[in-house]
Amino acid sequence: MHGLLKTLFVPQGLKAFGLAVLVTIAAISAPQPASALVEIDITQGNIEPLPIALPSFSAEGGDGKLAADMTSVIAADLKRSGLFNPLDPASFIQKNMSVNSTPRFGDWRQISAQALVTGTVTKQPDGRLRAEFRLWDVFAQEQMLGQQFYTTPENWRRLAHIISDAIYERLTGEKGYFDTRIVFVDETGTKDKRVKRLAIMDQDGANVRYLTRGDDLVLTPRFSPTSQEITYMSYGGTDPSVYLLNIETGQREIVGNFPGMTFAPRFSPDGQSVVMSLQQGGNANIFKMDLRSRSTTRLTNGAAIDTSPSFSPDGRQIVFESDRGGSQQLYVMSANGGEARRISFGPGRYSTPVWSPRGDLIAFTKQHQGRFMIGVMKPDGKGERILTEGYHNEGPAWSPNGRVLVFFRDTPGANGGPQVWTVDLTGYNEQRVDTPAFASDPSWSPLIN
Amino acid sequence: MLKKEFAGQGARWIVVCFALLFAAACAQTKPDGLSSNVKPGTGQDFVVNVGDRVFFEEDQSVLNSQGQTTLAGQAKWLNRYSQYTITVEGHADERGTRQYNIALGARRAQAARDYLVSQGVSASRVKTISYGKERPVAVCNDSSCWSQNRRAVTVLNNATN
């Protein structure tokens, strides 16, 4: 059976990082089950996390620490999602699992595992890593998934995230979001003299890399849908302006030639244009710039602060905030401008809207009675739900599968500062992302693989 | 190129100015006080004897009467010492969202700039910039600090003390 290997695809986005090749491996005993017993409905709130057993991958005489570390990264990914409960390895009855043998399902049922992952990581004679894993349905006693990968050793964390994504997708029916990165603003120094640097990290906080040196004040980085570029605001030029930065080459360029300050940039879903605000006297209006033709289009025109534009995933509409009615509220207009329709009507002020990549929801910051909340509503303004609230929560950004929001939470006083948090759409699962210093303005990359 | 300097050193500038502001407050309470030590027409003179900043209510960019008085004094001084160009820096407190506060700070800078121009300061001498909530001068968790941060500060670009 193991001879039946089939190459599925060579993930395109991986080129810059060294190739990972995914191969599907056939089931050991039975053919794929017609229907698995184990599955997670992630649309329900406050679900019981699925008990899953992740015995350390075997190294077959190779690097045992690497195999254990990879397993830990996978377990941590699944646990942080709030949908899985990785079981304590001390409770495992069957030891020394091999990826090439059928598990003793009774041993895993006894500790209430519903899913089981077995795997192995070995180094090939050519220096590449080979990783192989199988996902088992303990109660159906069947293999749900089996895959094999080859990659360069420095890619081991990404490989772990790719495996996490495969497990998540197989058990939830939704795309994962673990093989992704988050761009953010690193903040050091005292509150009145903050030094801000653009930085990028894996979604779990690993592999932090700084993209600017801190000479210039930088704000609000946003990923391109292609993930090779970010757009952000910098105070480095004559006027504070919107820039593009290629995160692989470090190449930087100003976006457009506007007479005044530009800010609050965001890419269109096709990556071909950037929307942003232009300050004109006391007013801020929204403009769109086509990155290829360099032509600019005015989208709003009025005596108001119109800012934080965000495209719908089909590129046809834009949600933004405006104080045209007297206080900050959310409005939706055509991507070509024109009439805008107010969608937020609850008590308080609404800002920083961002459209879900699934199209079904708009996330926002809401201020009411001195509290700052992160919430979601439907694009027509109905169904508002607050996911988290406190002294200061601000600036949500979506995971690429539209199931998790990343935002920053500030704390008060001279020693206070922002930290990056995630919350899932149920609002029950809040997690802090560990960063080297204070961190704000997080923005999620698309799925890399 | 001026902006480059501000981005790097703006915070230091503001702190220095703020210390001087307290000195100004002290000077006013004394009859012919410390201010006489300050050489007229210098940056220090502007900060200590005229006052370099005006303050705003929450989420507002309307100048109150005190702010108008301060700006009228600034205009008078600037009209006398016409060698200076100025940048009006608009700021917001931390109790707002980042993008909106950038625009709000710009509105405040614009309000101060328009008032100076109405008092005869040539528009060509005045630039504006907004720092939003990025450059607080007071950092406590209290409305007394937030009110000091909601400000427009007039900075002399080519001052020599």
CATH number at residue B91: 3.30.1330.60
Residues A132 and A230 in one domain: no
Residues A156 and A187 in one domain: no
- The 10s digit of each residue's pLDDT in A83-141 is 999 999 999 999 988 888 999 999 999 999 999 999 999 999 998 999 999 999 999 99
**Residue B161 domain flag:** no
Cβ of B7 within 8 Å of Cβ of A215? The answer is yes
Number of structural domains, chain B?
1
- The 10s digit of each residue's pLDDT in B40-89 is 999 999 999 999 999 999 999 999 999 999 999 999 999 999 999 999 99
**Residue A1 domain flag:** no
Domain range for residue B140?
Answer: 2-156
Mean pLDDT (whole number) for A58-65: 88
Residues A165 and A202 in one domain: no
- The 10s digit of each residue's pLDDT in B102-127 is 999 999 999 999 999 999 999 999 99
Q: Cα separation of A124 and A62, whole Å?
A: 10
**Residue A155 domain flag:** yes
Residues of chain B with C-beta less than 8 angstroms from the C-beta of A351: 97, 99-100
**Residue A404 domain flag:** yes
Q: Is the ipTM of this complex over 0.95?
A: no
CATH number of the domain residue A52 falls in: 3.40.50.10070
Residue A4 has pLDDT above 60, yes or no: no
| B8: confidence class by pLDDT, cuts 50, 70, 90 | very low
Tell me the nearest-neighbour CA distance from A109 into chain B, angstroms: 50
Residue B6 has pLDDT above 70, yes or no: no
**Residue B56 domain flag:** yes
Reported for A333-341, long-range contacts at CB under 8 A and 24+ positions apart, including other chains, are A333/A299, A333/A300, A335/A268, A335/A288, A335/A299, A335/A311, A336/A297, A336/A299, A337/A286, A337/A297, A337/A298, A337/A299, A337/A300, A340/A300
Q: What is the pLDDT of residue B5?
A: 34
Mean pLDDT (whole number) for B23-39: 52
Tell me the nearest-neighbour CA distance from A349 into chain B, angstroms: 10
Cβ of B103 within 8 Å of Cβ of A277? The answer is yes
Q: Quick one: closest CA in A to B149, which residue?
A: A192
Tell me the nearest-neighbour CA distance from A236 into chain B, angstroms: 6
Cβ of A192 within 8 Å of Cβ of B135? The answer is yes
Reported for A124-128, long-range contacts at CB under 8 A and 24+ positions apart, including other chains, are A124/A150, A127/A152, A127/A153, A128/A152, A128/A153
Q: What is the pLDDT of residue A42?
A: 64
Whether A53 and A87 have beta carbons less than 8 Å apart is answered as yes
Q: What is the pLDDT of residue A3?
A: 25
Mean pLDDT (whole number) for A402-408: 97
Q: Which of A154, A172, A190 lies at the terminal end of a domain, its last residue?
A: A172
Number of structural domains, chain A?
2
Residues of chain B with C-beta less than 8 angstroms from the C-beta of A277: 99, 103
Instruction: Provide the 8-state DSSP code for A342.
Output: E
Please, which residues bridge with residue A222 across strands?
A231
Q: What is the pLDDT of residue B13?
A: 39
Residue A410: closest CA among A421, A423, A399: A421
Whether A402 and A361 have beta carbons less than 8 Å apart is answered as yes
Whether A310 and A273 have beta carbons less than 8 Å apart is answered as no
Q: Quick one: closest CA in B to A285, which residue?
A: B103
Q: Cα separation of A226 and A239, whole Å?
A: 28
Please, which residues bridge with residue A218 across strands?
A234
**Residue B132 domain flag:** yes
Q: What is the pLDDT of residue A174?
A: 93
Q: Quick one: closest CA in B to A233, which residue?
A: B99
Q: Cα separation of A307 and B97, whole Å?
A: 11
- H-helix segments, B50-97: 65-80
Residues of chain B with C-beta less than 8 angstroms from the C-beta of A238: 1-3
Distances (CA, A) of B149 to A192, A427, B72: 10, 33, 21
Mean pLDDT (whole number) for B135-147: 92
Of A284, A370, A413, the CB nearest to B103: A284
| A62: confidence class by pLDDT, cuts 50, 70, 90 | confident
Residues A125 and A205 in one domain: no
Q: What is the pLDDT of residue A17?
A: 39
Q: Does B144 touch chain A (CB under 8 A)?
A: no
Residues A101 and A190 in one domain: no
Residue A294 has pLDDT above 70, yes or no: yes
Whether A43 and A424 have beta carbons less than 8 Å apart is answered as no
Whether A356 and A363 have beta carbons less than 8 Å apart is answered as yes
User: In whole angstroms, what separates CA A146 from the centre of its chain?
Assistant: 25
Q: Does B17 touch chain A (CB under 8 A)?
A: no
Cβ of A235 within 8 Å of Cβ of B15? The answer is no
Q: Which of A124-133, A153-162, A406-415, B4-13 has the lowest mean pLDDT?
A: B4-13
CB-based contacts of A332: which residues, under 8 Å, 6+ apart? A317, A318, A319, A340, A341, A343, A379
- The 10s digit of each residue's pLDDT in A215-234 is 999 999 999 987 689 999 99
Q: What is the pLDDT of residue A61?
A: 77
Q: Cα separation of B34 and A175, whole Å?
A: 69
Average pLDDT taken over every residue of chain A:
91
Residues A187 and A109 in one domain: no
Mean pLDDT (whole number) for A300-309: 97
Domain range for residue A424?
Answer: 181-444
Question: What share of chain A in percent tops pLDDT 90?
Answer: 83
Residue A386 has pLDDT above 60, yes or no: yes
Residue B18 has pLDDT above 70, yes or no: no
Q: Cα separation of A388 and A26, whole Å?
A: 44
| B160: confidence class by pLDDT, cuts 50, 70, 90 | low
Mean pLDDT (whole number) for A153-182: 95
Q: What is the pLDDT of residue B116?
A: 98
Cβ of B141 within 8 Å of Cβ of A413? The answer is yes
Mean pLDDT (whole number) for A347-370: 97
Q: Quick one: closest CA in A to B114, which residue?
A: A281
Residues of chain B with C-beta less than 8 angstroms from the C-beta of A369: none
**Residue B83 domain flag:** yes
Question: What share of chain B in percent tops pLDDT 70?
Answer: 76
**Residue A296 domain flag:** yes
Cβ of B97 within 8 Å of Cβ of A395? The answer is yes
Residues A194 and A152 in one domain: no
Q: What is the pLDDT of residue A447?
A: 85
Q: Quick one: closest CA in B to A367, which residue?
A: B96
- The 10s digit of each residue's pLDDT in A181-217 is 999 999 999 999 999 999 999 999 999 999 999 999 9
Q: What is the pLDDT of residue A195?
A: 98
Q: Does B111 touch chain A (CB under 8 A)?
A: yes
Of A239, A367, A414, the CB nearest to B139: A414
Mutate to test the interface with A, among B3, B18, B98, B117 (most CBs of A within 10 A): B98
**Residue A449 domain flag:** no
Mean pLDDT (whole number) for B135-160: 92
Q: Which of A172, A191, A220 lies at the terminal end of a domain, its last residue?
A: A172
- The 10s digit of each residue's pLDDT in A15-30 is 333 445 566 766 665 4
Residues A60 and A193 in one domain: no
- Output the CA torsion B73→B78→B81→B84 (10° steps): 140
B84 three-class SS:
coil
**Residue A140 domain flag:** yes
CATH number of the domain residue A395 falls in: 2.120.10.30
Residues A189 and A149 in one domain: no
| B34: confidence class by pLDDT, cuts 50, 70, 90 | low
Q: Which of A139, A172, A205 lies at the terminal end of a domain, its last residue?
A: A172
Cβ of B96 within 8 Å of Cβ of A413? The answer is no
Q: Quick one: closest CA in B to A371, which residue?
A: B95
Tell me the nearest-neighbour CA distance from A305 into chain B, angstroms: 7
